[in-house]
Homo-oligomer: A and B are copies of this chain.
Amino acid sequence: MAKVAIVGAGSVIFSMRLVRDFCVTPGLAGTTLALMDISEERLQRIYDLASRYVAETGARLRLEKTTHRREALEGSDFVINTVKVGGYAGMEAERAIAERHGYYRGIDDPVSDYYGGFAAYHQLAFFLEVAREMEAVCPDAWYLQVANPVFEGSTLVGRESKLKVVGFCHGFNEYEEIVRALELDPAGVEVQVAGFNHAIFLTRFRYRGEDAYPLLDEWIRSKAEAYWESPAYLYEPWATQMSPAAVEMYRLYGLFPIGDTVRSVSPWWWHRDLQAKRRWFPAGGPDSEVGWTFHLNRLQRGLETIRAAAANPEVSLTREFPPAPSGEAIVPFIDAVVNDKPARLVINIPNQGAIAGIPDDVFVEVAATVRGLRIEREPVDRLPRRLLLHVLLPRWLRMERVVQAFREGDRTSLFLALMDDPRSSTPQQAEGLIEEILAAPWNARLKEHYRAG
């Protein structure tokens, strides 16, 4: 019987997805789920909700709760790291600072938010702290990277620790929107994606045994316009999967982008201001002031719903959260490892040749078959060299720079990286921003860290 620890379990929406997945996975009956959070209040809430959910479903899941991380790690076989250090406040404050220096919507990766050469510090330092503790307490456990930045984080922990590291993101599921838009029978669809987290492309798309890219081409020719005029699309800033942006990226790079890829690695000149964004993301896109506010509101409503449910023991949780797989690959991964049962999953793992041209120790997001301790990477069907050179390698380089600056406390690297931002026009501008972000009260450790160089 496995023990699984969730570090940062107070993220109630995410944790409930995991609890639900455990409850619908018969092979994992008897698992101990150790919920850990530094907030007593949040911890108690998720513990109560999870206990009710387990009771309602009749699942055999043992729940534990603790505010002591070490206690959660002890005896664990899997440790899920979902923590966002400091929440959203610092991120929004840094975005405002960056905007004052001429960087619309901030300087960090739009998807991984908490990020860049700056705030990434808090996340990366925390990831390593957890990894070091695991090496001491449960060295044979799997470290499951869920917190962003997944790409930088999993590569860093993979290189710096002796742990077995895998990164997870549910973004690849957005391929389902292609299936819906094209009105295909999901049972006949076969897909493969490859790239890095938030930079994956559809390297295989087959329908009933045949290449389905021509169907996509036909949709673009004859149906995209109508789709883009439908209210469900027009008023949903987060509907990026079939947006003009995704279609144009397909034209520019040769493969269809999947999920957050459309936000994260679309061309820089689409993101200069809200007007520029609107050409490719007519509703403003997720990362504009419009889309982000929309997101925070929706998040807030979700939290209110779940808090209301928590406050009222009469509410049926299985009605709120029907007992069906969430689409997260985490629990299926654990199931495949624990029960030595093959599962084809999209996960972030060391490249080891899966994508030609990427170093072996870089974490790539690819399809793989997991079974026990064996992870078999699927050969990538096709990857145009133009895409490799104009999307993947620049994104890889950005990751390496973040990791190098972090590891070496190298302030000059932060500066050089920022000068590569197309919105930097003078070194004074970049230096001014770095100064102000390092001087922020919540960044005292960061400022101390970036002394070198």
Q: Which residues of A contact B (CB under 8 A)?
A: 252, 267-269, 357, 359, 385-386, 389-390, 393-394, 397, 400-401, 404, 408, 410, 412-413, 416-417, 419, 422, 425-427, 453
Contact = CB atoms under 8 A, between A and B. Distances in A.
Nearest to A251: B412
A393 B425 CA distance: 22
Contacts of A425: 269
B412 A401 contact: no
Interface of A is mostly: helix
Contact of A389 (B269, B389, B404): B404
11 contacts: A252-B416, A267-B416, A268-B419, A269-B426, A385-B404, A386-B404, A386-B416, A389-B401, A389-B404, A390-B416, A397-B397
Nearest to A390: B416
Contacts of A397: 389, 393-394, 397
A404 B385 CA distance: 7
Name the residue among A390, A408, A422 with the largest chain B CB count within 10 angstroms: A390
Given A269-B426, A385-B404, A386-B410, 4 more contacts: A268-B419, A389-B401, A393-B397, A394-B397
Contacts of A417: 390
Contacts of A416: 252, 267, 386, 390
A385 B159 CA distance: 15
Given A252-B412, A394-B397, A416-B252, A386 B453 contact: yes
A419 B386 contact: no
Nearest to A426: B269
A417 B386 CA distance: 10
Contact of A419 (B269, B408, B419, B453): B269
Given A269-B426, A269-B427, A422-B422, A413 B400 contact: no
Contacts of A400: 389, 393
A452 to B, nearest CB: 10
Given A252-B412, A397-B393, A397-B397, A267 B419 contact: yes
